[in-house]
Amino acid sequence: MLEPRDWTMKLVMKFGGVGVADGKSLKRAGGIVSKFRTDGHELVIVTSAMYNVTNSLLDAATRAGKGQREHVKRFVEDVRKRHVDSAQIAIDNEEVLDRVVRTIESKCDDLKNILLGIAHIGELTPRSKDLVIGYGERFSAPILQGVLEDLGIESQSLTGGEAGIVTDDHFGGAEPLMNVTTLEVRQVMDPLLEKGIVPVVSGFIASTQDGTHTTLGRGGSDFTASIIGAAIRADEVWVWKDVDGLMTANPKIAHDARMIDRISFSEAMELAHFGAQVIHPKALESAARFQLPFRVKSFGKLDGDGTLIVKEATVKDGDVVKAITNIDDVDLITVSGASMVGTPRLAARVLEILTDEDVDVLLISQSSSEENITLAIPKNDGSRAQNALELSLLGSKQVREVSIEAGLSIVAVVGAGMKGTPGVAARVFATMAAHNINIRAIAQGSSELNISFIIKKQDAAEAIKALHNDFKLGECA
């Protein structure tokens, strides 16, 4: 056991994606934990499932619901092999490896029984779906724990529920009950940390007060890191990513894109909304509420500072725009009708219909004549959304037509410095005019943190490059 010592910082570190892609990356993740622990930081680790495992669990659950037993059996064998192989690469010590492999085996048996049970009944309920798709994190945390033990770090793996995260029973996207959660997480974490043990927590999964398994929504392991960070009053949450940090634009498009050193939660949320989703918006929201700084760190470059996301935006002189981002492949739906004027309920109705269809509305704009409402939605939802709107609205006499246009992109210009600075929109649109790019729809968030507009998909790269240049985002501040 370690001697009690003065820790430098209390950190929650989250590994996901590249950090837990295979045995080699798991080993590297272990090395990162070891380095920062030796530097004197007090650590709690949160891990997501290994790359793509949650997707495949979701698929297996769906097939089980259709009674596909043979698929289920093959699937569980694949999952078993993938995790055992990774553990074998990541862990050298025989005894530790043995124990981890036995854990994987026994969890695979459970998973198989659950899936076969679902196949037997032939029905997948939201509750059993949450149980199944949480298995990725039930595998990855014990493996990462084994990697740490292999490196001589005393550690313990826990599910989100065991770590004290208590949620409501809104399956598929449960909300943590923060008061109980804060108390319970502290009660679990404090004694471990006092003994110098590094907790390795499964992200994404949690449980209700009566112990039913829940998940926090897809991509939710960032949220887990944020919940735990808030509860233990961590100094920072570090999220290890395959990028250096948040960038001024997609570097594949704007070659002189730079890493942003510091950005506010609200700016980061705008970026996340418009496609640059480096950190889950729910994680940012809760971190902002608890004033818990987030840092995006590069899994490849350990010594970089990464991007720090904090409460207050720093706006340097002339630094009105921080980043340009885009969402490719959106459809534009226009609901038009002569008698829409003065019928505020229609906009609400349109949004309600799309919410019921689970369609994510990315941007809304309404002409001041109120003759039409234009909405941008992801391409894959286009025809479903159009159908639903037509079915519900065409009979209503208020609406003449629901039209759809495909092959579009949203470009968003984001920065806290835009607030109260006149002329930003003029500059944006003058740049588009100079490049002969036609704008189909425009929206500005009332927060004035972003101006977003819709153009043809094939114009997006040129638009981003031009704006990145005109706002001088490639030049060092």
Which residues of this protein are in contact with Mg ion, per CB under 5 A? 16, 219
159 binds ligand ASP (CB under 6 A): no
Map the footprint of ligand ASP across residues 111-150, applying CB under 6 A.
Answer: 136
Which of 75, 204, 240, 265 forms a contact with ligand ASP (CB under 6 A)?
A: 204
Long-range contacts of 471-475 (CB under 8 A, 24+ apart): 471/320, 471/321, 471/324, 471/413, 471/427, 473/248, 473/249, 473/254, 473/257, 473/258, 473/321, 473/322, 473/323, 473/324, 474/248, 474/254, 474/256, 474/257, 474/258
54 binds ligand ASP (CB under 6 A): yes
Kindly tell me which of 69 and 170 has the beta carbon lying closer to ligand ASP: 170
Kindly tell me which of 30 and 219 has the beta carbon lying closer to Mg ion: 219
19 binds ligand ASP (CB under 6 A): no
Question: In whole angstroms, how close is the CB of 280 to Mg ion at the nearest point?
Answer: 6
Which of 23, 30, 219, 306 forms a contact with ligand ASP (CB under 6 A)?
A: 219
Which of 203, 306, 337, 417 forms a contact with ligand ASP (CB under 6 A)?
A: 203
199 binds ligand ASP (CB under 6 A): no
Question: In whole angstroms, how close is the CB of 53 to Mg ion at the nearest point?
Answer: 12
Kindly tell me which of 49 and 272 has the beta carbon lying closer to ligand ASP: 49
The partner in contact with residue 245, picked from ligand ASP, Mg ion, none with C-beta cut-offs of 5 to 8 angstroms by kind, is none
In total, the chain counts a number of residues equal to 477
CA 381/CA 359 separation, integer angstroms: 6
415 binds ligand ASP (CB under 6 A): no
Question: In whole angstroms, how close is the CB of 165 to Mg ion at the nearest point?
Answer: 17
Q: Which helix (H) or strand (E) holds 366?
A: strand 363-366
218 binds ligand ASP (CB under 6 A): yes
Kindly tell me which of 285 and 448 has the beta carbon lying closer to ligand ASP: 285
In this structure, which amino acid lies at residue 217?
A: G
Kindly tell me which of 219 and 245 has the beta carbon lying closer to Mg ion: 219
Kindly tell me which of 14 and 465 has the beta carbon lying closer to Mg ion: 14
In this structure, which amino acid lies at residue 335?
A: V
CA 175/CA 206 separation, integer angstroms: 10
CA torsion sign for 218, 224, 227, 230 is negative
Burial class (CB in 10 A: 0-12, 13-18, 19+), 336: middle
Phi, psi of 50 (to 5 degrees): -65, 155
Question: In whole angstroms, how close is the CB of 195 to ligand ASP at the nearest point?
Answer: 28
Q: For Cα atoms 351, 352, 354, give the angle at the middle one, nearest 5 degrees.
A: 65
221 binds ligand ASP (CB under 6 A): yes
Scanning 72-80, 115-123, 219-227, 234-242 for contacts with ligand ASP by CB under 6 A, the matching segment is 219-227
CA 346/CA 318 separation, integer angstroms: 41
CA 383/CA 331 separation, integer angstroms: 9
Q: For Cα atoms 320, 326, 332, give the angle at the middle one, nearest 5 degrees.
A: 120
The partner in contact with residue 257, picked from ligand ASP, Mg ion, none with C-beta cut-offs of 5 to 8 angstroms by kind, is none
Which of 11, 12, 13, 16 forms a contact with ligand ASP (CB under 6 A)?
A: 16
Question: In whole angstroms, how close is the CB of 445 to ligand ASP at the nearest point?
Answer: 26
The partner in contact with residue 54, picked from Mg ion, ligand ASP, none with C-beta cut-offs of 5 to 8 angstroms by kind, is ligand ASP
Kindly tell me which of 219 and 337 has the beta carbon lying closer to Mg ion: 219
Long-range contacts of 149-153 (CB under 8 A, 24+ apart): 149/93, 149/96, 150/30, 150/90, 150/91, 150/92, 150/93, 150/96, 150/97, 151/30, 151/31, 151/33, 151/34, 153/30, 153/33, 153/34, 153/37, 153/198
Percentages (nearest 5) of helix, strand, coil residues in the chain: 45, 20, 35
Kindly tell me which of 218 and 384 has the beta carbon lying closer to ligand ASP: 218
Query: If binding means CB under 6 A, how many residues of this protein chain bind ligand ASP?
Result: 11
Question: In whole angstroms, how close is the CB of 61 to ligand ASP at the nearest point?
Answer: 13
Interface with ligand ASP by CB under 6 A: which residues? 16, 48-49, 54, 136, 203-204, 218-221
